[in-house]
Structure 1
């Protein structure tokens, strides 16, 4: 039994990965907005008390990698939830990353609730197949506000397993309007203008795009932005089995990343730079731009920089962005939870406009539901694009097997080689093609 569980966990670890990791977590144990039910102590809350409703405690794991972004809004969400359900106490900790999740799976010690990524990767499906997540259909949750694609995010084989997404994630170029204007630049209309702007900044002694080469996900964001802009059709064909990853447009997309390295567009010492340092370089005016996710918008707004945003345009000026739903509010219930009925209440609250508006007001994401009202005018810039294209990580995940994780190969092998000029774009595409399991193969 232990061997079987270990094999399951190793399989899940091979499929690990998350879109859209924003800010690093803070040290120490956070106050996450949890509080005792009125008139009880922790001990009394677990035993019950006056009234007929059972008083329970739910353990919830938050996204450790995005703690800096999510800590304040989840304090408010959790406090509002406990005001509504005083018999349910939350122990909310920013304790989850790939490593802690895999350890919990191996030890069969998952919390009552933990965040998942729906159909963005195959990991939730693997956990469902191996009995780690509770099915939600029996609760008849009201999901009428959500679109069919949003519902599909949380479903495996037609059954619901998590709260649903209500925000859109993508990668854009955040730029310093003052530096651009001082150098006679504006947001580019096409790819050539984009590159000409980078050359102008470099000639002025300004790092064109600051990059966190030390951070596995953050150094990949240019790829996530270039891929739909430059090779959307080819990636779609590869996923459908009507094309291959060796398509010239895919090889050229990877070569462009290396060209940016070789041309100094990411600066001189980016390989040793972490995410915090890259953000500081941008916010302190030492870099003209940074490629980051829409989830980081509030961080740059709060910095006070004269901020602009644009998606990477292709040669024809078309702005095709990576499409992805935000997993900031998509949580599942462990199959081992002793309080699933109360845990469902938390998922229902996360699905509510009240909780979604708290996230919007605090973080500033692109909402996909019309009744969520952005308060930041800059959100409109984030939503200006011509087409929602593929997510390259999702494409490569779809072409993976438990024995050959193509997405992982891109993140851990291909991109490091490109950013150190150890591989060409053609070699990068060939390496992924060799590992891919195409439909009908």
Structure 2
């Protein structure tokens, strides 16, 4: 995620399950550490809900970890996506740093912390444990950062054990009622949105106060983009014109969608959770968001039939590896952290993640039994095969997430013109580029 996971804190039940299983049987741990001796605690932060695919898989990973490390208890601390996003730099520089945590990938987050010396260089462990062999080249991009904190090369500072991409979730019953077919082009998508508006229905659930709105704007920009533009914007491999056709189309069309009623004018204050609940309850027939919602949608939608499709007409889509396991430099139990990462990369944990509605990076395809989950994974494999992952709009520069959120809110509220918002996007981007010597 974009950016995101859904922005929900994982349930306290996950921590309770971890502690309750601390006395499980013993065996030699995968990494050879923590098998005997004095009691130890591995402090773990992540922000996935307990019923998400990652939450389900990691609960099992905790069980296996504690079974193989009988003297170790895993202490899961409840955090939220926004909380970690805003305070990670300060916390990781203190003695309150966890031993391992899930953290957002990209230049503005993991890249910045690596440049500041707050993350452990995992390169030796990657080679030793073969994690690199489990990740495709496109997934490795977000795990490695150079001395400038720019992703794509340099040392390994994180390990993703799942992948993600932005798609369109839709209410099949609502589509059928309005005579709308699954669109295959952006023009067909726009026509479908018009049909819902004419029926008095706001079609798209949006959370303007967090990541969802900016991802819609980015999908629109990507409809006019090619790979060199993405590499220039995300990897600094060229100059970016924020008033060029890509961002101009994205911002202008997004603002136009608000005016046309595709997006509610009061959505600027709504969070990702509000968006998800709005779709799951049937209030909105469409939700544009990431695969991190898949397991929850599958588990909670009760009153209608739903499905998903890739953003119509795009060759490029917001998406990447999932968030990273990072080990803070101040971690007191790095050996245990490495062992836990190792377990989450095991095939049975990867299979569990896939069957729970996630996108695993090292699963056995034959072990994924649910047809919807197979479709989710097949669509992701299609994107990676076509080099279609375009990362996320808030990644390039430190603090860019807040800039993107504010810009999307201003477009929803009509507080600023698309051109003014694009000026706001350009300023911190250009400042960061100058700061790193670009």
- TM-score (normalizing by structure 1): 0.80
- Whether contact under 8 Å (2:243, 2:419) holds in the other structure is yes
- Whether contact under 8 Å (1:212, 1:273) holds in the other structure is yes
Give 1:12's aligned residue: none
Give 1:141's aligned residue: 129
Matches within 5 A, 1:6-405: 18-25=2-9, 30-34=15-19, 35-37=21-23, 53-63=37-47, 66=49, 69=52, 70-95=54-79, 97-118=84-105, 120-139=106-125, 140-143=128-131, 144-157=133-146, 158-163=154-159, 165-213=160-208, 215-232=209-226, 234-238=229-233, 239-267=236-264, 269-302=266-299, 303-304=301-302, 305-313=304-312, 317-327=313-323, 330-362=324-356, 364-369=357-362, 371-372=364-365, 373-382=367-376, 383-384=378-379, 387=386, 388-393=388-393, 397-398=395-396, 400=397, 405=399
Structure 1: gaps (5+ residues)? 1-16, 41-48
Q: 1:249 & 1:137 partners in 2: Cα distance? A: 36
Q: 1:168 & 1:39 partners in 2: Cα distance? A: 31
Structure 2: gaps (5+ residues)? 27-33, 147-153
* SS of alignment partner, residue 206 of structure 1: coil
**For each residue in 1:315-339, what CA deviation from the matched residue of structure 2 results, as whole angstroms up to 9, or x when unmatched?**
xx34431231111xx3222323333
Q: 1:379 & 1:90 partners in 2: Cα distance? A: 29
* SS of alignment partner, residue 436 of structure 1: helix
- Aligned residue pairs, count: 400
Q: 1:26 & 1:345 partners in 2: Cα distance? A: 22
Bigger Rg, which one? 1
Q: 2:11 & 2:286 partners in 1: Cα distance? A: 28
**Shift of residue 225, structure 1, vs aligned partner:** 2.6
**For each residue in 1:200-246, what CA deviation from the matched residue of structure 2 results, as whole angstroms up to 9, or x when unmatched?**
11111222112223x32233231233232233454444543244121
**Shift of residue 295, structure 1, vs aligned partner:** 0.8
- TM-score (normalizing by structure 2): 0.80
Gap change, CA 1:422 and 1:169, over 3 Å in 2: same
Superposition CA RMSD, Å: 3.1
- Whether contact under 8 Å (2:207, 2:271) holds in the other structure is yes
Gap change, CA 1:280 and 1:432, over 3 Å in 2: closer
**Shift of residue 27, structure 1, vs aligned partner:** 7.0
**For each residue in 1:331-377, what CA deviation from the matched residue of structure 2 results, as whole angstroms up to 9, or x when unmatched?**
22232333322222112112222222232222x12334352543332
Q: 2:218 & 2:306 partners in 1: Cα distance? A: 21
**Shift of residue 53, structure 1, vs aligned partner:** 4.4
Q: 2:428 & 2:337 partners in 1: Cα distance? A: 40
